[in-house]
Amino acid sequence: MRQVRTIRYRDIAADLRERVAGDEFAAGRLLPSESELSATYSASRVTIRKALEALRAEGLVDSRQGFGWFVAGSTVRQALAHLGTIEAQLEAEGRASERKILDFAFVRPPSRVRATLGVDKALKVTRVNLADGEPFARVTVWCPEELGADLSRSQVQDRSFYELLPVEFGGATQTIGADAANATDAALLQIPVGSPVLVCERVTTDAAGTAILIGEYVFPAHRTEFTVDLAHPEASIGPSGLRLVE
């Protein structure tokens, strides 16, 4: 830990700038809290805040309520206009995409999954998706045992279910809501417990309209945006597909 006494905000800003440039803090990664920085630099919270504001004015860092300060970086944007994968969208933006499989097992799924897929046993795959080496999504996918019986852990790490399953896909229904990160997701996504996350559930069907995949995606809210192209204006300017949660 660095111990520097009576240091001015410009010096703190310069040191933090150097640490970011040296990849001690990658794009999107949270910085130490203001209180931690205050202890590190033996400076007041007011001085630390002034240094961080100076770096924000340069576009180097930013802050969000519930997260604190983080290194500014390009947001992961996902278009909702067509059925596709996270990896394909990242690669289209020229960004490195990686998956880390955390769980691969055939299990009895929760009742909600059983009801939607119409099965008593399913393949459950949980993974973390990374963009340019930084975690940005926890993903859990459920697939009927009959369809996933021949799949391996290495296959689902390297390729998507859309590439692996021998079926003709129809479409998907995607629901997006807001939540607070639980301890497990916070650790995986390297964000504080209770910080804002976007939760997306996607139910994918085959050409006959039968549900064959259920995916749950959890994204840190400060790094994620969803975009939709609305081709034709309607009488209301409100978002389409809006449903109030009770």
Both structure tokens of 36: 């931690």
In terms of domains, do 21 and 136 share one? no
In terms of domains, do 93 and 22 share one? no
Structural domain of 108:
76-227
The distance from CA 59 to its chain's CA centroid, rounded to whole angstroms, is 22
CB neighbours of 94 closer than 8 A, spacing ≥ 6? none
Concatenate the DSSP letters of all residues of 119-163 into one string: -S-EEEEEEEEEETTEEEEEEEEEEEHHHHTT--HHHHHHS-HHH
Closest CA to 9 of 34, 46, 63: 46
Cα distance between residue 136 and residue 90, in whole Å: 11
Tokens 């990160």 belong to which residue? 181
Q: Is the pLDDT of residue 226 over 80?
A: no
Q: How many domains does the chain have?
A: 2
Q: Residue 88 phi/psi, 5° resolution?
A: -65, -40
Cα distance between residue 120 and residue 106, in whole Å: 10
Q: Is the pLDDT of residue 2 over 60?
A: no
Closest CA to 127 of 72, 86, 91: 86
In terms of domains, do 93 and 215 share one? yes
Average pLDDT score, the chain:
83
In terms of domains, do 89 and 208 share one? yes
Q: Is the pLDDT of residue 233 over 70?
A: no
CATH assignment of the domain containing 52: 1.10.10.10
Under DSSP, the state recorded for 11 is H
pTM flag (> 0.85)? no
**Confidence (pLDDT) at 30:** 78
What are the pLDDT digits (tens) for 126-163? 999 988 788 889 999 999 999 999 999 999 999 999 99
113 or 240: whose pLDDT is higher?
Answer: 113
194 or 216: whose pLDDT is higher?
Answer: 216
**Confidence (pLDDT) at 202:** 92
Question: Per mean pLDDT, which of 73-77, 78-82, 91-95 is the most reliable?
Answer: 91-95
In terms of domains, do 161 and 82 share one? yes
**Confidence (pLDDT) at 115:** 96
**Least confident residue range of 66-80, 99-113, 197-211:** 66-80
**Confidence (pLDDT) at 58:** 85
Q: Is the pLDDT of residue 102 over 90?
A: yes
Cα distance between residue 131 and residue 98, in whole Å: 7
Concatenate the DSSP letters of all residues of 42-90 into one string: T--HHHHHHHHHHHHHTTSEEEETTTEEEE----EEEE-SS---HHHHH
In terms of domains, do 62 and 108 share one? no
**Confidence (pLDDT) at 236:** 47
Under DSSP, the state recorded for 36 is H
Cα distance between residue 10 and residue 51, in whole Å: 6
**Confidence (pLDDT) at 6:** 46
How would residue 20 be classed by pLDDT, with cut points 50, 70 and 90? confident
